[in-house]
Amino acid sequence: MSYASERKRANPASMALAIGVNGSIILAVALSPVIVEQIKRDPFVGRSIPVEPLPPPVDEKKPDTDTKPIKDDVYVPPRQTDTMTATNNDITTSDTGIETTTVADGKGGGEIRIQDPIVEPPAPLFHAATRDPRFARDFQPDYPSGLLQKEIEGSASIRVLIGTDGRVREAQVVSASHPDFGKAAVRQALRSWRFRPATRGSVAVEDWQTLNVRFTID
């Protein structure tokens, strides 16, 4: 007999019984009361713990001045005044002592001696050259003949270098109303003008001066 023929011959009563049993179980479960058990729990009790705040971030570029060691104050000794007696090795020939000031350099390197500046003596006075009155009559140059015939008057200004012997060593025309007046004045200065030489202190020195000469017809 084949399996297909056996399936066709199954007992209808047994099938109905199986279905009824399963249905009754499902129905009983569906109709049973729902029991909910309430679990009682104790309320949560918390405890606060203080937390210290975090320190601020440290800037690596900014120097930490609080960590630098504190330096002790530098001891500066009181000012002292020494008097040094001049010897043969000194550049000065005076017997007066040279006042110096002694101070500390503040770096542990000993003392620094500061010498007062040497005051230079004043320069000797200068006295300009003056015309020698003994030769006053030789000051006026000869009148240029050509200008004298034409009755032309004028003047000349010349610059002269007076030597230590009182004579004119150089003469230059500064201005002249006519060139002949300038030439006549230069010629007379080099030949006949005499001065008392200039002095610086008690020493005779050279001196440049500018003098005016007038040419007039009497």
Amino acid, res. 82: D
pLDDT of 40 over the 60 cut: no
Domains (range + CATH), the chain: 80-115 (no CATH), 126-215 (3.30.2420.10)
Amino acid, res. 198: A
- 207-216 pLDDT, tens digit each: 999 999 999 9
- 140-197 pLDDT, tens digit each: 999 999 999 999 999 999 999 999 999 999 999 999 999 999 999 999 999 999 999 9
- 49-104 pLDDT, tens digit each: 666 677 776 666 555 555 555 555 556 666 655 555 444 444 444 444 445 555 55
pLDDT at 123: 86
State both tokens at 32.
């049973």
Amino acid, res. 37: E
Convert 157-195 to b/e letters by CB count within 10 Å (16 or more is b): bbebebbeebbbeebeeeebbbebbbbbbbebbeeebbb
Taking the alpha carbons of 166, 167, 170, 174 in that order, is the dihedral positive or negative?
A: positive
The residues with which 127 forms a beta bridge, in sequence order, are: 199
